[in-house]
Amino acid sequence: MDPIIKFHNFTWKYNAQAEPTLHDINLEIFEGEKVLICGPSGCGKSTLAHCINGLIPFSYKGESSGSLTIFGKETKALSIFDMSKMVGTVLQDSDGQFVGLTVAEDIAFALENDCVPQKELFERVAKVAGEVSVGEHLHHAPTELSGGQKQRVSLAGVMVDDVPVLLFDEPLANLDPATGKQAIELIDEIKRTRNATVIIIEHRLEDVLWRDVDRVILMQDGRIAADVTPDELLSSDLLKTYGIREPLYITALKYAGVEILPEKAPHSIRSINLSDDDVNAVKNWYFKASEGAAPGNGEILLNAEHISFAYDNGRKALDDVSVAVRKGEMLAIVGRNGAGKSTFSKLVCGFERPRNGSLLFKGQDLMKLSIKERADSIGYVMQNPNQMISQVMIADEVALGLKTRGVPEEEITRRVEDTLKICGLYPFRKWPVSALSYGQKKRVTIASILVLDPEIIILDEPTAGQDFRHYTEIMEFLREINRRGITVVMITHDMHLMLEYCDRAVVLSDGRKLADAHCAAVLTDPDLIERASLKLTSLYDLAHLCGIEDAEGFVRCFIACDREVRA
C-alpha cells in the first residue's frame, strides 16, 4: 500500500533563520493510521505539521529541498486551497480558528466557499454538529462556549468538508482533564467511523495514549529520532533521553523494580499485562515506602472567606467560596473549564471586586488596596500570554516591571538575565516576542513576574504548552523560590503537576468549593473526580490492578518516592 503522506530527504529552512529547522526528513504515513508526533519544544514538530497542512510555504516563507507528497502529489505544485481539501487542521488555540459569528456559520464556512446549495449545507452542518455533540449550540457565538466545546466546533469546521486527513496541533493544551479525555475519545471515534488518517501533535503522552495510536514519531533538533510503536517506545530509554514525560504508572512500576517489556503491552494501564512477580514487586515496594509528610498548618497569608461573584450577564462565577493560603506552601486550584478558578485569582489581584465576602492578605483588607498596591506583594501570571505581553523584545518585556519601579539599570540587567536563564529563555534574549512559540511566550510572562520577587505568586496554567524539560525547569525554579519563602498558588489542569509539586488542592466546580484536601486524596476519589471533571490518576488504576485497596496511600507513597528520586 502506498503512503498518503511521504517525506523523502526533506529539508526546510525559514528565510529568517540561518540554519534549517527540518533536516533530511524521511517519513511515510498510511491511510487510516493514527500517528502521534512528539518531542521537546523547538524540535521541529510544529514545522513538520505546517508542511503537511500547507502553512509552509504559503504562510511561512523559506527554502526546501527533497520531496513531500500528499496522495501522490508534490506539495510544491499544489495551492493552499488544494491542500485544504486533503488536510484539515484543528489548532491549539481554537479562538484563532473561528470565522463565523455563530457556531453554525463557523462550521458552514468551507461549504459556503464551495457554493454548496443551501439545503445541502444545512443538512451537512447539522450532521457534523451532531457527530461532535455541538448540535444544541448552533446559534451560540463560539466565544460563549467552553474550551472543550470550542475545540469540537473547530473539529466540525474541518470535518464538514470531509477531508481524509485530520491534523491536531496540541489538542489538550487548554482543556481540563475530563474534557481532554473526552477529546481523545472523540478523535478516536471520528478516526474509526470515518477511517480518517489522524496526526496528533502533543506533549501529554499518557493522555493521548488513553486511546490506541499506531505509531509515535519522536523528533529532536529537526530530525526524526524514532519511529516506533507505543509499546516499543515505553520499553526503551527514548523518553528519558529526549526529555519526554513517561506515564505515571510506568514510573511507579520502575520504582518497584518491574522491567518494562514490549510484550507486556505497556502503552496503556488498561492493557498492560503484569505477571504475579510484577504484582508482588509493586506490593513489596508499597509496603516498604514512606507516605511522606502531611500538608502543613502554617501561618495564613491569604484568606478568602465566603466569596461570591457574578458577571454582568448574571452568570454566578463563585458562590460562597472560602480558601486559606498558608505562607510558604504550594497550593493547586483545580476544576473544569468555567469552574471559577481564574475568577478567584482576578478577585485576589483586584481585577474584579467580589459581591460578598472578605479578602485578607497578612491580615490586611485587600479591598482597600489598588491593583498596583496588591501587585507589590502578589504576582499574577495569566493563562493567555498574549494578554500580558506589551513589549517588542523579550528582554524588554521581562524588564518592564523593574523599570516602572525605578530599579537601577545595572540591577535590572542582572535580574533579567538570571531569570531568563532559569526559564530557558536566555538564548532568545535578543529575539522579538513575535518570533516565539505559544509555550515560549508563556515562559516570558512567567519570567516577567518572577523577576519582581513577589511574596505570593499566582500562576494560571503555568506549564501549558511546555515540554517536559522546560516544565521541569520552571517547576523546579518555582519550588526553589518556594523554599525561600515565596508562596505559590497554581491554577492547573495538569494532574501530574498537582501530584508532583503540591501537597494540597482546592477543588472548584460551578463556582462552589467541593474539596480542600491532600492531592492524593483528591485524585483517588471517583465521586469527586466525576463531579469536578477531573481524571483519576493512572496510579489509582495500578493500585487496584495490583490488589492494593488503599489507593490514596499508594499515591502518597509514589509522591514521596518520586520527590526523593528527583531531589
What is the spatial distance between Cα 541 and Cα 257, in angstroms, rounded to a whole number? 18
Cell reading at 435: 518570533
What is the spatial distance between Cα 225 and Cα 45, in angstroms, rounded to a whole number? 12
| 300-537 CATH | 3.40.50.300
Residue numbers in the chain where pLDDT is lower than 70: 292-296, 438-439, 465
Q: What confidence tens digit (pLDDT) does each residue in 251-298 have?
A: 999 999 999 999 999 999 999 999 999 999 999 999 988 776 666 677
Q: Residue 558 carries which side chain, given as an amino acid letter?
A: F
Domain residue limits, the chain:
5-238, 245-288+538-567, 300-537
Return the CA Rg of the chain: 24
CA torsion sign, 383 to 37 to 467 to 25? negative
* CA nearest neighbour of 563 among 474, 488, 500, 475: 500
* 3-state SS string for 525-567: CHHHHHHHCCCCCHHHHHHHHCCCCCHHHHHHHHHHHHHHHHC
245 and 205 Cβ atoms separated by less than 8 Å: yes
* CA nearest neighbour of 218 among 37, 24, 41: 37
What is the spatial distance between Cα 538 and Cα 517, in angstroms, rounded to a whole number? 19
Phi and psi torsions of 139, nearest 5°: -100, 5
Identify the pLDDT of residue 96: 75
Identify the pLDDT of residue 156: 87
Identify the pLDDT of residue 293: 61
Cα 53 to Cα 46, 63, 80, 161, 465, distances in angstroms = 11, 17, 8, 15, 20
Cell reading at 193: 467511523
Identify the pLDDT of residue 376: 86
In DSSP terms, which residues pair with 325 in a beta bridge?
A: 302
| 5-238 CATH | 3.40.50.300
Same fold yes or no, 5-238 and 300-537:
yes
pTM recorded for the entire structure: 0.84
What is the spatial distance between Cα 300 and Cα 311, in angstroms, rounded to a whole number? 28
* CA nearest neighbour of 470 among 421, 399, 435, 417: 421
What is the spatial distance between Cα 128 and Cα 109, in angstroms, rounded to a whole number? 13
